[in-house]
Amino acid sequence: MKVNANTLRKGNVLEYNGRLCVVEKYDIMTPGKGASVIQVEMRDLKTGNKDNVRFRTQETVERVRLEQDDYQYLYPEDDKFTFMHLETYEQISVPADVIGEPAKFLQEGMTCVIETYEGNPLGVSLPDSVKVEVIEADPVIKGQTVTTSYKPAVVTGDVKVMVPPHIEVGTFIIVKTEDGSYYERAKD
């Protein structure tokens, strides 16, 4: 599907020079003289090589349509994660590097959206937040709750999260999967 270069956003997949590339960064630059250009940093999906390309904003590029389906997370195996399609019950193994950092928040039975192109997984979107239990945390120090300081804690899956001082061991909290930050105390 042909689109104007100025409509590109992070995460879009392009067919460029016979390769599939995902847009990682983009910046529209307007020089004092002449037409605007868009500077795009993209990564080749097969090799992982990065490339910086400039397009004129009116230039058209070939954007690839990806299939997005709901999958249920089943289990980890070596450096891959196994998911099951919710409608066809087919299983798919996704390499850890496709998921990236959010993989540490995968929980059995979690529903995720997997983007595929010709049957190959290109990306996995976890829910925005997950409910986890605090396994380790420093004890509450009297008077510390007045300040806005945070303390380190370890949650389910051995993930380190900075939490407010009033959070204790055994407390369930909501954590953002995108950056692993504390969002709120879970409501029961």
pLDDT 10s digits, 43-69 = 887 787 888 999 888 888 888 888 889
Q: Which of 54, 32, 31 is nearest to 42 (CA)?
A: 54
What CATH class has 129-185? mainly beta
Separation CA 69–CA 64 (nearest Å): 16
Residues of the chain with CATH 2.40.50.140: 67-125, 129-185
The CATH code of domain 67-125 reads 2.40.50.140
Q: If pLDDT is split at 50, 70 and 90, which confidence band does 112 have?
A: very high
Residue 135: the pLDDT is 92
Look at the pTM and tell me if it is higher than 0.75: no
Q: Residue 132 — φ and ψ, nearest 5°? A: -130, 160
In the chain, the amino acid numbered 138 is: D
Separation CA 104–CA 123 (nearest Å): 15
Q: Per-residue pLDDT averaged across 132-136, rounded?
A: 91
Residue 146 has pLDDT above 80, yes or no: no
DSSP string, 47-110: T--EEEEEEETT-EEEEPP-EEEEEEEEEEETTEEEEEETTT--EEEEEHHHH-GGGGG--TT-
The CATH code of domain 2-63 reads 2.30.30.30
Separation CA 5–CA 183 (nearest Å): 36
